Amino acid sequence: MKRNSSPFKWRHYAPDIILLCVRWYCRYQLSYRDVEEINRERGLEVDHSTVFRWVQRYAPEINKRIRPHLKLSGASFRVDETYVKVGKSWKYFYRAVDKEGQTIDFMLSARRDVSAAKRFFKKVMRADHRRLPFSISVDKNAAYPEAFTASQEEKVIPLDCRLRRVKYLNNVIEQDHRFIRRRWRAMQCFRSFRTAERTLEGVESMNMIRKGQVHDQEGSSQKIRQE
């Protein structure tokens, strides 16, 4: 994006209104028509299809802009995946948090296999706010040990990091899944993989803000509006 260009150029509504609608949809159990109705009560005529386009455009932007402001995570990771319905099939939403429940990263995948687990480990290790892990806790999914070993051989994960397959250690992330599950259940299902990806970026961003992971939330919002 050019330095002088604004992500809100050619929009008919003020950035504050657009960001508020995106935030409402991603944070609370609202439909696009619910957001349309809330705006109408406030004297704003915003069609639900417009709110959909705003979410698709600005949810990934919010996720990108808050990344530099995230607090450092802990060094004990919890990795797990949950299910998300896209069209008529189920996809897999990989998530990683630290032992305090602070979100490290996430990834939507069409498959739940060794290749997907390796890609997720790479994505987690590229996160700017993560510390080098001394342990990664996973469930009994058979793909994780092979993906973990391969990632260590490729020097993606430190060699002194341990893989722990202890069920109770993942209670933290299982509890954290509830926020995501409640949100996508209210959406019923996503029509396409791309729509699901972009919307979930916004949902996870709101989840990180809710958990207090952002150092300067007001400053991040101003940058999105002004840049």
- Tens of each residue's pLDDT in the chain, 227 residues: 445 567 777 677 888 999 999 999 999 989 999 999 999 999 999 999 999 999 999 999 999 999 999 999 999 999 999 999 898 899 999 999 999 999 999 999 999 999 999 999 999 999 999 999 999 999 989 999 999 999 999 999 999 999 999 888 889 999 999 888 887 777 767 889 999 999 999 999 999 999 999 986 555 555 555 55
How far from each other are the two terminal CA atoms of the chain, in whole angstroms?
9
Rounded to whole angstroms, the maximal C-alpha distance in the chain is 59
Domain boundaries, given as residue ranges, for the chain: 15-69+197-226, 76-180
Count of positions (residues) in the chain = 227
- Annotation: CATH topology of 76-180: Nucleotidyltransferase; domain 5 (3.30.420)
Q: Please state the pTM of the whole predicted model.
A: 0.88
**Torsions phi, psi for 221 (to 5 deg):** -65, -40
Instruction: State how far the Cα of 27 lies from the Cα of 207, in Å rounded to an integer.
Output: 7
Instruction: State how far the Cα of 117 lies from the Cα of 149, in Å rounded to an integer.
Output: 11
- The DSSP string of 137-170 is E--S-THHHHHHHHHHHTTSS-TT-EEE--GGGG
